[in-house]
């Protein structure tokens, strides 16, 4: 469940609430019980750690070779001209 941060316009206090998406938005301050609360956008605590997450990171030689072998096996093979599909009754817009 997501954690939402709220700020009270009456007392200026901030508090967090764990709510389901289906739960109604809070309207009462948990600190002073005033009905003057608004939802606040706050930065997330999401952090990427370890190698390989950033554009500036450089892969090791083994990883480069592994990536090259994956690319070569994933490349589509060219289709022969004789096996190209034929459009029924001239429905193709491209003329060859």
Q: Is the dihedral of CA 47, 3, 42, 30 positive or negative?
A: negative
At residue 13, does pLDDT exceed 80? yes
- The alpha carbon of 15 is separated from its chain's Cα centroid by a whole number of angstroms, namely 27
Q: Which domain holds residue 8?
A: 3-40
pTM, whole model, 2 decimals? 0.46
Residue 89 lies in a domain: no
Q: How many helical (H) and strand (E) elements, i.e. helices and strands, does the chain have?
A: 1, 3
Residue 28 lies in a domain: yes
pLDDT tens digit sequence for 56-89: 566 667 766 766 766 666 556 665 555 555 666 6
Residue 26 lies in a domain: yes
Spatial CB neighbours of 35, under 8 Å, sequence gap ≥ 6: 27, 28, 29
pLDDT tens digit sequence for 16-55: 999 998 999 999 999 999 999 999 987 777 777 766 655 5
Domain count, the chain: 1
Distance, in Å, from the CA atom of 82 to the CA atom of 6, rounded to the nearest integer, reads 67
């Amino acid at each position: 469940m997501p954690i939402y941060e709220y700020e009270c316009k009456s007392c200026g206090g901030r508090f967090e609430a764990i709510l389901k998406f289906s739960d109604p938005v809070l309207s009462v301050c948990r600190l002073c019980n005033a009905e003057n609360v608004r939802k606040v956008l706050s930065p997330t605590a999401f952090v990427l750690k370890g190698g390989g997450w950033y554009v500036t990171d450089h892969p090791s030689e083994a990883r480069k070779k592994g990536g090259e072998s994956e690319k070569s096996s994933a490349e589509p093979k060219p289709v022969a001209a004789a096996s190209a599909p034929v459009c029924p009754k001239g429905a193709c817009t491209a003329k060859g």
